[in-house]
Amino acid sequence: MEGAHAPGGGRRSLGPVSLVVAGALSVQFGASIAVLLMPRTGPLGVVALRLVLAALVLLVVCRPRLRGHSRADWGTVVAFGTVMAAMNVLFYQAADRIPLGAAVTLEVLGPLTLSVIASRRLVNLVWAGLALGGVVLLSGGGFDRLDPVGALFALSAGAMWAGYIVFSARTGRRFPQADGLALAMGVGALLSLPLGIAEAGSKLLVPSTIGLGLAVAVMSSVLPYTLELLALRRLPAATFAVMMSLEPALAATAGFLVLHQALSLTDALAIGLVIGASVGAVRTQAARKA
């Protein structure tokens, strides 16, 4: 009878993986638009536009109930929203000081560390190690030439990213559909808006800036965060965290395809290691369920 369930199990394991990959691709396209927006509003202005507009979209679409939730439910939402706002603020401060690829590479060390902590199987440590090797290779050994403040912001964003994974999973278990995400996004918007106003002021109200901000909000927040929340309902945090190592690889690939930035042999090897580690982590999890 176990064999009869194997095909269905394979499809179930593919589902959340596809959601994670789709979300990661969306983030990379959103990041390219954010780069165009940053000279207009500054990094804090981008964060405010991204989270406020994303919150408005999600609250209108989801219409989450405000009553009937426990104190623990609300605590999870507030923690999720706070971590989300901090992650975005720190990352865009990093991206304003160091190259985007290096910022993503340093940031992903947070999820990789989480995968090591959360894993209870030795083989998962192997996948995390492979992914880390790919991430370091992808940096080109240039971390020592980066602005130290920007590098520190990126590493701090990685720590918040690990917290985001934990609280996204908890929120997905406590709230139906994307209701918890919509509420948490509202919290993040309230926290980030004063910072954005202080930095950009009336520049946030320029129609073309709002249009770009809406595109960033949908592609970098609404779509990927929703897909990730759904994926984390069926994918362990450790496996999800290793898969986040795909982000630098996708960023490098997008640079090659969209911006025509050449990929060296070392870059290709690094991407191969990262993808191999992610595939291995997913296959290990699928075999464990079988």
Taking only the tens place, the pLDDT of each residue in 244-283 is 767 777 766 666 665 565 667 776 777 777 777 767 776 6
Compute φ and ψ for 93, nearest 5 degrees.
-65, -40
Helix (H) or strand (E) holding 137: helix 122-138
Tell me which DSSP letter residue 219 carries.
I
Looking at residue 9, its pLDDT comes to 44
The domain locations on the chain are: 15-115+143-236
pTM above 0.85, yes or no: no
How far CA 234 is from CA of 212, 224, 226, 240, in Å, comes to 33, 16, 14, 10
Looking at residue 151, its pLDDT comes to 83
Low-confidence stretches of the chain (pLDDT beneath 70): 1-14, 100-101, 116, 119-121, 138-146, 245, 251-263, 267, 278, 282-283, 285-290
Mean pLDDT taken over the chain:
80
Looking at residue 10, its pLDDT comes to 44
Tell me which DSSP letter residue 245 carries.
T
User: For 177-197, b where at least 16 C-beta lie within 10 A, e where not — what string?
Assistant: ebbbbbbbbbbbbebbbebbe
Angle at 35 between CA 198 and CA 268, to 5 degrees: 140
Largest CA distance in the chain: 65
